[in-house]
Amino acid sequence: MTVIWKRAAALTAAALALALGGSTLSAQSASADPAGVFRTLNWENAADRTMPGAPPPGFIKQWEKSHGASTVTSPVRDGAYAAKFELNRMDPLISNGTRAEISQDNKQPVNAERWYGFSINLPADWVYDPSSEIVSQWHQCDERNCPSGSPPLALLTDEGRWKIDFRGKIIDLGPYATGRWTDWVFHVKWRTDEKGVLEVWRDGQEAMPRHIGATHAGGPYSPYFKFGIYKWDWNNKDKTTSTTTQRVMYYDSLRLGDERATYEDVKPGADSAPVCAALPVAAASASTFEPINPPAQAVDGNLSTRWSGQGFGASLFLELSSVRRLCGTRVAWHLGDQRWNDYTVYTSLDNVTYTKAWEGRSSGTTTGLEQKLFTNGPRDAKYVKISFWKNPQNDWASITEAAVLGS
Ligand SMILES: [Ca+2]
Ligand SMILES: [Ca+2]
């Protein structure tokens, strides 16, 4: 099996709704990357959510069909977004292979020291297949004077197990688990002499003995990183030994570091602390309310009490004790399982000028809190205004609970 893919690889020329039930999520990297991390790709920045039409900035697209790579909101390893890769047996070849991958540029500096942190989710329906697939690989450069052959380093799933192919040697890491995230950190000194290093961690534990010595066969560049799904056994559609016809997997929390980086700098989920969580509300008020349903009852933690205000534009105001980085709201509507409500969320720094952060309709299917992240990402604010427009039954705004999310 390994021999088969090696041949195929050698041919590789160039080669919201957000109804998130969880209580917290991080909406965006809360802090700047450490100095040694030169690229974070966790799809939390809107500019990275380019798929399926285009690769994230700085990367190369290696999928043919629109299902090949896309952005999803579940599951996620960090924040609110992750990448989904889907490969079907009959997908056309791209770069001489059946693949859905995102690739680095193939001109990586010679003798580079690199850290690669990422997390992979093989979903629960990732069935056993006798033919394997590469889910991350480090490919030798494609220029003249590069050695041909299979990639010097690859992470595979094969017959129910994680395996590493390191320069032709298969290292069995044991069974894979499905339906959850598996964290990986690779540290490589790309060298052709005794100064090379390969270290691998899985879920925070060393996954294999540290290798010291050559890590690739040479050429004018260091190997470049590719990730997604590459299933060489599907290259020949008629003669595959595979017993499945589709592979779907999720990828998140990629950090690429240089020689200044550390394990801690690139490990997946490094900023998965709750940076988009409910914040304490200092005061609640309203543009209008009926005396038995005052605005304070929208923040008393009790879904059986409510604020009710009558009329188009009736508004609930939530004030924080200071300016915070806000990312969204949660709102529970009275009789929310019987009727939808159209409403707009605004934020303000000064309680004078309000700008729109989200606008839409509640589901009409739940009396529980419904989470809406701000349409254009987090923003600084101290005040939140929730303005009611209409529901199909009457002209009353009735909110049982509301929460402001932020960090
Ligand atoms: Ca993410
Ligand atoms: Ca309440």
pLDDT digits (tens, 9 = 90+) for 345-377: 999 999 999 999 999 999 999 999 999 999 988
> Is the pLDDT reported for residue 313 higher than 50?
yes
Ligand nearest to the CA of 48: 1
Q: How far is the CA of 22 from the centre of ligand 1 (A)?
A: 15
Distance CA 48, CA 146 (A): 31
CA of 346 to the centre of ligand 2 (A): 21
Q: Tell me how far the alpha carbon of residue 317 lies from the centroid of ligand 2, in angstroms.
A: 14
Ligand 2 centroid–CA 312 distance in Å is 21
| Ligand with an atom nearest the CA of residue 284 | 2
Ligand nearest to the CA of 295: 2
Nearest to 399 by CA among 256, 273, 289: 289
Question: pLDDT at position 1, please?
Answer: 37
| Cα distance between residue 82 and residue 228, in whole Å | 12
Q: 């989904």: which residue's tokens?
A: 84
CA–CA separation, 184 and 267 (whole Å) = 7
Query: 21: helix, coil or strand?
Result: coil
Q: Is the pLDDT score of 79 beyond 50?
A: yes
What value does the mean pLDDT of the chain take?
90
- Distance from residue 305's CA to the centre of ligand 2 (Å): 4
Residue 10: pLDDT over 80: no
Contact 64, 234 (CB under 8 A): no
**What would the CATH number be for the domain defined by 2-266?**
2.60.120.200
Instruction: Tell me how far the alpha carbon of residue 379 lies from the centroid of ligand 2, in angstroms.
Output: 26
Beta strand spans in 51-132 (E): 60-62, 69-72, 82-88, 99-103, 113-122
Question: Does the pTM of the predicted model rise above 0.75?
Answer: no
Under the banding of pLDDT at 50, 70 and 90, the label for residue 169 is very high
Domain boundaries, the chain: 2-266, 277-406
| pLDDT score, position 32 | 64
For a pLDDT cut of 90, what percent of the chain falls above it?
80
Q: Is 48 helix (H, G, I), strand (E, B) or coil?
A: helix
Whole-number Å distance, alpha carbon 150 to ligand 1 midpoint, is 30
The pLDDT assigned to 269 comes to: 82
Buried-state track 342-354, b at ≥16 Cβ within 10 A, e below 16: ebbbbbbeeeeeb
Least distant ligand from the CA of 298: 2
Rounded Cα distance between 150 and 137, Å, is: 10
Q: Is the pLDDT of residue 148 over 90?
A: no
Distance 171 CA to ligand 1 centre (A): 29
Residue type, 180: R
Which CATH superfamily does the domain covering 277-406 fall into?
Galactose-binding domain-like (2.60.120.260)
Q: How far is the CA of 321 from the centre of ligand 1 (A)?
A: 29
The label of the residue with tokens 């009353």 reads 396
Question: Considering only 17-26, 65-74, 94-103, 373-382, which range has the smallest mean pLDDT?
Answer: 17-26
Distance 328 CA to ligand 2 centre (A): 19
For the ranges 17-31, 81-95, 172-186, 251-265, the lowest mean pLDDT is seen at: 17-31
Which ligand lies nearest to the CA atom of residue 331 in the structure?
2
Highest-confidence range of 28-32, 268-272, 337-341, 377-381, by mean pLDDT?
337-341
Q: Are 62 and 142 in contact (CB under 8 A)?
A: no
